[in-house]
Structure 1
Protein backbone atom coordinates (compact mmCIF):
# COMPACT_ATOMS: atom_id res chain seq x y z
CA UNK A 1 0.00 0.00 0.00
CA UNK A 2 1.38 3.41 -0.92
CA UNK A 3 1.76 6.33 1.44
CA UNK A 4 -0.39 9.41 0.93
CA UNK A 5 1.14 11.93 -1.42
CA UNK A 6 1.09 15.07 0.70
CA UNK A 7 4.80 15.89 0.83
CA UNK A 8 5.42 15.18 4.51
CA UNK A 9 7.59 12.13 3.89
CA UNK A 10 9.59 13.98 1.27
CA UNK A 11 10.06 16.93 3.64
CA UNK A 12 11.26 14.56 6.38
CA UNK A 13 13.72 12.85 4.04
CA UNK A 14 15.09 16.19 2.85
CA UNK A 15 15.46 17.36 6.45
CA UNK A 16 17.23 14.12 7.35
CA UNK A 17 19.56 14.44 4.36
CA UNK A 18 20.34 18.04 5.28
CA UNK A 19 21.04 17.03 8.88
CA UNK A 20 23.44 14.37 7.64
CA UNK A 21 25.36 16.88 5.53
CA UNK A 22 23.72 16.70 2.12
CA UNK A 23 23.27 19.95 0.21
CA UNK A 24 19.64 21.21 0.08
CA UNK A 25 19.85 21.98 -3.64
CA UNK A 26 21.08 18.43 -4.34
CA UNK A 27 18.26 16.91 -2.31
CA UNK A 28 15.67 19.07 -4.05
CA UNK A 29 17.15 18.09 -7.43
CA UNK A 30 16.91 14.40 -6.51
CA UNK A 31 13.29 14.83 -5.41
CA UNK A 32 12.43 16.66 -8.63
CA UNK A 33 14.08 14.00 -10.80
CA UNK A 34 12.29 11.26 -8.86
CA UNK A 35 8.98 13.04 -9.45
CA UNK A 36 9.68 13.39 -13.17
CA UNK A 37 10.64 9.72 -13.41
CA UNK A 38 7.49 8.64 -11.56
CA UNK A 39 5.29 10.80 -13.77
CA UNK A 40 6.97 9.44 -16.91
CA UNK A 41 6.43 5.86 -15.76
CA UNK A 42 2.78 6.53 -14.94
CA UNK A 43 2.18 8.09 -18.36
CA UNK A 44 3.93 5.17 -20.05
CA UNK A 45 1.73 2.68 -18.18
CA UNK A 46 -1.33 4.57 -19.38
CA UNK A 47 -0.02 4.66 -22.95
CA UNK A 48 0.29 8.44 -22.91
CA UNK A 49 4.04 8.76 -23.39
CA UNK A 50 4.15 9.47 -27.12
CA UNK A 51 4.25 12.93 -28.77
CA UNK A 52 0.64 12.61 -29.99
CA UNK A 53 -0.74 12.05 -26.50
CA UNK A 54 -1.46 15.74 -25.87
CA UNK A 55 -3.43 16.04 -29.11
CA UNK A 56 -5.23 12.77 -28.39
CA UNK A 57 -6.24 13.98 -24.92
CA UNK A 58 -7.51 17.24 -26.42
CA UNK A 59 -9.60 15.34 -28.95
CA UNK A 60 -10.96 13.05 -26.23
CA UNK A 61 -11.97 16.07 -24.16
CA UNK A 62 -13.76 17.58 -27.16
CA UNK A 63 -15.52 14.28 -27.83
CA UNK A 64 -16.58 13.98 -24.20
CA UNK A 65 -17.89 17.54 -24.20
CA UNK A 66 -19.85 16.84 -27.41
CA UNK A 67 -21.30 13.69 -25.81
CA UNK A 68 -22.36 15.67 -22.74
CA UNK A 69 -23.97 18.35 -24.94
CA UNK A 70 -25.84 15.71 -26.94
CA UNK A 71 -27.02 13.99 -23.77
CA UNK A 72 -28.22 17.31 -22.33
CA UNK A 73 -30.07 18.11 -25.56
CA UNK A 74 -31.71 14.67 -25.64
CA UNK A 75 -32.89 15.01 -22.05
CA UNK A 76 -34.34 18.45 -22.78
CA UNK A 77 -36.11 17.14 -25.90
CA UNK A 78 -37.62 14.17 -24.05
CA UNK A 79 -38.75 16.43 -21.21
CA UNK A 80 -40.34 18.79 -23.72
CA UNK A 81 -42.25 15.97 -25.38
CA UNK A 82 -43.44 14.61 -22.04
CA UNK A 83 -44.72 18.04 -21.03
CA UNK A 84 -46.50 18.44 -24.39
CA UNK A 85 -48.13 15.01 -24.08
CA UNK A 86 -49.32 15.72 -20.54
CA UNK A 87 -50.77 19.07 -21.63
CA UNK A 88 -52.47 17.44 -24.63
CA UNK A 89 -54.01 14.82 -22.35
CA UNK A 90 -55.23 17.54 -19.99
CA UNK A 91 -56.84 19.44 -22.89
CA UNK A 92 -58.51 16.26 -24.19
CA UNK A 93 -59.69 15.44 -20.66
CA UNK A 94 -61.15 18.92 -20.24
CA UNK A 95 -62.87 18.69 -23.63
CA UNK A 96 -64.49 15.39 -22.67
CA UNK A 97 -65.40 16.63 -19.18
CA UNK A 98 -66.98 19.85 -20.50
CA UNK A 99 -68.87 18.10 -23.29
CA UNK A 100 -66.99 19.59 -26.22
CA UNK A 101 -66.47 16.08 -27.58
CA UNK A 102 -70.05 15.84 -28.82
CA UNK A 103 -70.05 19.26 -30.56
CA UNK A 104 -68.01 17.92 -33.45
CA UNK A 105 -70.73 15.47 -34.50
Structure 2
Protein backbone atom coordinates (compact mmCIF):
# COMPACT_ATOMS: atom_id res chain seq x y z
CA UNK A 1 0.00 0.00 0.00
CA UNK A 2 1.40 3.37 -0.94
CA UNK A 3 1.75 6.25 1.50
CA UNK A 4 -1.00 8.23 -0.24
CA UNK A 5 -3.39 5.27 -0.10
CA UNK A 6 -2.59 4.81 3.58
CA UNK A 7 -3.34 8.46 4.27
CA UNK A 8 -6.64 8.31 2.41
CA UNK A 9 -7.59 5.16 4.29
CA UNK A 10 -6.71 6.79 7.62
CA UNK A 11 -8.76 9.87 6.73
CA UNK A 12 -11.74 7.74 5.74
CA UNK A 13 -11.49 5.77 8.98
CA UNK A 14 -11.32 9.00 11.00
CA UNK A 15 -14.30 10.41 9.10
CA UNK A 16 -16.32 7.25 9.68
CA UNK A 17 -15.42 7.34 13.36
CA UNK A 18 -16.46 11.02 13.60
CA UNK A 19 -19.80 10.22 11.96
CA UNK A 20 -20.65 7.56 14.52
CA UNK A 21 -19.12 4.31 13.24
CA UNK A 22 -16.92 2.33 15.58
CA UNK A 23 -13.24 2.13 14.59
CA UNK A 24 -13.35 -1.67 15.00
CA UNK A 25 -16.24 -1.89 12.54
CA UNK A 26 -14.45 0.32 10.05
CA UNK A 27 -11.24 -1.70 10.34
CA UNK A 28 -13.21 -4.91 9.78
CA UNK A 29 -14.82 -3.41 6.67
CA UNK A 30 -11.40 -2.39 5.35
CA UNK A 31 -9.97 -5.85 6.04
CA UNK A 32 -12.87 -7.60 4.30
CA UNK A 33 -12.61 -5.24 1.33
CA UNK A 34 -8.89 -5.94 1.07
CA UNK A 35 -9.44 -9.68 1.19
CA UNK A 36 -12.19 -9.47 -1.42
CA UNK A 37 -9.93 -7.41 -3.71
CA UNK A 38 -7.10 -9.90 -3.28
CA UNK A 39 -9.39 -12.82 -4.15
CA UNK A 40 -10.64 -11.00 -7.25
CA UNK A 41 -7.07 -10.36 -8.35
CA UNK A 42 -6.14 -14.02 -7.82
CA UNK A 43 -9.19 -15.15 -9.83
CA UNK A 44 -8.25 -12.84 -12.70
CA UNK A 45 -4.75 -14.32 -12.70
CA UNK A 46 -6.14 -17.85 -12.59
CA UNK A 47 -4.60 -18.53 -9.18
CA UNK A 48 -7.74 -18.96 -7.07
CA UNK A 49 -8.05 -22.76 -7.33
CA UNK A 50 -6.61 -25.43 -5.03
CA UNK A 51 -3.77 -26.30 -7.40
CA UNK A 52 -2.49 -22.73 -7.63
CA UNK A 53 0.14 -23.15 -4.90
CA UNK A 54 1.58 -26.17 -6.71
CA UNK A 55 1.53 -24.30 -10.02
CA UNK A 56 3.42 -21.37 -8.54
CA UNK A 57 5.95 -23.76 -6.94
CA UNK A 58 6.47 -25.46 -10.32
CA UNK A 59 6.93 -22.10 -12.03
CA UNK A 60 9.52 -21.09 -9.44
CA UNK A 61 11.35 -24.38 -9.93
CA UNK A 62 11.29 -23.92 -13.70
CA UNK A 63 12.60 -20.37 -13.35
CA UNK A 64 15.37 -21.55 -11.02
CA UNK A 65 16.36 -24.25 -13.54
CA UNK A 66 16.37 -21.69 -16.36
CA UNK A 67 18.64 -19.38 -14.35
CA UNK A 68 20.99 -22.27 -13.52
CA UNK A 69 21.15 -23.29 -17.20
CA UNK A 70 21.83 -19.71 -18.26
CA UNK A 71 24.60 -19.37 -15.65
CA UNK A 72 26.16 -22.67 -16.81
CA UNK A 73 26.05 -21.57 -20.44
CA UNK A 74 27.84 -18.30 -19.62
CA UNK A 75 30.48 -20.17 -17.62
CA UNK A 76 31.05 -22.61 -20.49
CA UNK A 77 31.36 -19.73 -22.94
CA UNK A 78 33.85 -17.96 -20.67
CA UNK A 79 35.92 -21.15 -20.34
CA UNK A 80 35.91 -21.63 -24.11
CA UNK A 81 37.00 -18.03 -24.73
CA UNK A 82 39.77 -18.39 -22.15
CA UNK A 83 41.06 -21.54 -23.87
CA UNK A 84 41.07 -19.85 -27.27
CA UNK A 85 42.92 -16.83 -25.87
CA UNK A 86 45.51 -19.08 -24.21
CA UNK A 87 45.99 -21.08 -27.42
CA UNK A 88 46.53 -17.87 -29.38
CA UNK A 89 49.00 -16.63 -26.77
CA UNK A 90 50.95 -19.88 -26.96
CA UNK A 91 50.97 -19.74 -30.75
CA UNK A 92 52.16 -16.13 -30.64
CA UNK A 93 54.86 -17.02 -28.15
CA UNK A 94 56.03 -19.91 -30.33
CA UNK A 95 56.29 -17.62 -33.37
CA UNK A 96 58.10 -14.99 -31.29
CA UNK A 97 60.63 -17.56 -30.07
CA UNK A 98 61.20 -18.87 -33.56
CA UNK A 99 59.48 -22.16 -32.88
CA UNK A 100 56.89 -21.62 -35.61
CA UNK A 101 58.05 -24.82 -37.29
CA UNK A 102 56.38 -26.70 -34.47
CA UNK A 103 53.06 -25.15 -35.43
CA UNK A 104 53.05 -26.79 -38.87
CA UNK A 105 51.17 -30.08 -39.24
CA UNK A 106 53.48 -33.07 -38.96
CA UNK A 107 56.40 -31.02 -37.57
CA UNK A 108 56.86 -33.29 -34.56
CA UNK A 109 57.20 -36.53 -36.52
SS, match of residue 67 in structure 2: helix
Determine the C-alpha separation between the residues in 1 that align with 2:101 and 2:46: 71
Q: What's the TM-score once normalised by structure 2's chain length?
A: 0.87
Give the corresponding residue for 2:94: 95
Structure 1: gaps (5+ residues):
none
| Superposition map of 1:4-23 within 5 A | 5-6=2-3, 7-23=6-22
- How far does residue 5 in structure 1 lie from its aligned partner after superposition? 3.5
The Cα of 1:98 is off from its aligned counterpart by 1.2
Q: 1:59 aligns to what?
A: 58
Query: How far does residue 78 in structure 1 lie from its aligned partner after superposition?
Result: 0.3
Q: How big is the shift at 1:20?
A: 0.5
- Measured in 1, the distance between the counterparts of 2:54 and 2:101 equals 67
1:28 match: 27
Unaligned segments of structure 2, at least 5 residues: none
Partner Cα separation in structure 2 for residue 92 and residue 58 of structure 1: 51
- For 1:44 and 1:100, locate their aligned partners in 2 and report how far apart those are by CA, in whole Å: 73
TM-score (structure 1 length as normaliser): 0.91
| CA-to-aligned-CA distance 1:34-89 (integer Å, 9 cap, x gap) | 00010011111111111100110011001101100110011011001001101101
Tell me how far apart the structure 2 counterparts of residues 37 and 79 of structure 1 sit (CA, whole Å). 51
Number of matched pairs: 102
